[in-house]
Amino acid sequence: MWFEISMSSFITVMFITTVFFVNKAFKELPAGSPLRYYAESHITILLLLMLYSVWHTLNRAFQWTDIIGPFMVYPEYLLIALAVLMILFSSFRLYRIYQKAKEMGLTLHE
pLDDT digits over 66-82, tens only? 888 888 889 999 999 99
Q: How many domains does the chain have?
A: 1
Domain-embedded: residue 110: no
Geometric angle at alpha carbon 77, from 47 and 81, rounded to 5°? 60
Contact criterion met (CB below 8 Å) for 76 and 68:
no
With respect to residue 11, please indicate whether it lies within any of the assigned structural domains.
yes
User: Does residue 40 sit within a domain?
Assistant: yes
Q: Is residue 108 part of a domain?
A: no
Instruction: Please tell me the distance from the alpha carbon of residue 69 to that of residue 49, in angstroms, as a whole number.
Output: 23
- Residue at 94 is within a domain: yes
Q: Which domain holds residue 92?
A: 2-24+33-103
Express each pLDDT in 32-41 by its tens digit.
888 888 888 8
Residues 83, 53 contacting (CB under 8 angstroms): no
Q: Which pTM value belongs to this model?
A: 0.81
Is residue 58 in some structural domain? yes
Q: Percent of the chain, pLDDT > 90?
A: 33
